[in-house]
Structure 1
């Protein structure tokens, strides 16, 4: 059995997240998704939704075999526990493949690192949590409401 890990913030699930997880699942037989803890997200605004809520939403997707909340201090602890054959990074994630490979090697973990494909928006889709939030705020302002 070929075990795959996908990881991300997964805040306000959208079609881009689904594409990423489906793409990652194609790399193996079992997909584990690691949901970043709110307190560990430093490269963009903190997630709107709680850790457990984001994990539960990701776990509800049929393509995901198991969803986990990341470790509070060591982002590689879940990787050691899951022992994947491949880690699939999102096409636009800020991680460098070579940096992840080096960190895995330093820990003695043998695991491929791949990059998922991009997905172009269709019709009026929004494929970014930040863009979803911006659209909501614009529409609420335009409607004169703030609820």
Structure 2
């Protein structure tokens, strides 16, 4: 049985996330997803959705067999417990594959690292979705004395 691990923040779930997880699942028999802890997300803006809710959403996705929160102090601890044959990275994850492979080997973990290509579409990233909302949703004018916008 081939175990695959996919990791990510999974904030504001969108088709790009689903594509990443479907492609990851195709590589093996069992997909484990490690959802980043709020405190560990430092390479981009803090998640909008709290970690427990992001975990709940990821667990509900069809390609996912198991989902768990990452470790607060050691990102390799859950990977060591799962012992996957394959670890997938999303197209925009900040890991260098060679460096990650070496860090895994240093920990005695022998997993193949595979980068999944991006999903086509402008709204296939959380930051693009937030930008689109900010551009297309005008704030409502304050209510006047009659309760309507002035």
Residue 113 of structure 2 corresponds to which residue in structure 1?
Answer: 113
- What does the per-residue CA deviation read over 1:16-67, in whole Å, with 9 as the maximum and x for residues that have no partner? 0000000111110000010001110111001111111001101100100011
TM-score (normalizing by structure 2): 0.90
Mapped partners of 1:46, 1:76: distance in 2? 21
Aligned residues: 142
The CA deviation at 1:145 is: 5.7
Q: Is 1:48 the counterpart of 2:44 in the alignment?
A: no
The SS at the match of 1:34 is: strand
Regions of 4+ moved over 4 Å: none
The alpha-carbon distance between structure 1 residues 92 and 53, as it changes in their structure 2 partners (threshold 3 A), is: same
Residue 61 of structure 1 corresponds to which residue in structure 2?
Answer: 61
RMSD over aligned Cα, in angstroms? 1.4
Structure index of larger Rg: 2
Contact 1:9–1:36 (CA under 8 A) maintained in structure 2:
yes
User: Could you list the runs of 5+ residues in structure 1 that have no partner in the other structure?
Assistant: none
Residue 144 of structure 1 corresponds to which residue in structure 2?
Answer: 140
Equivalent positions of 1:1-147 (< 5 A) are: 1-121=1-121, 126-141=123-138, 144=140
Mapped partners of 2:123, 2:29: distance in 1? 29
Mapped partners of 2:13, 2:124: distance in 1? 9
TM-score (normalizing by structure 1): 0.92
- What does the per-residue CA deviation read over 1:89-132, in whole Å, with 9 as the maximum and x for residues that have no partner? 111211010111011100011111111122211xxx61111111
Mapped partners of 2:140, 2:107: distance in 1? 54
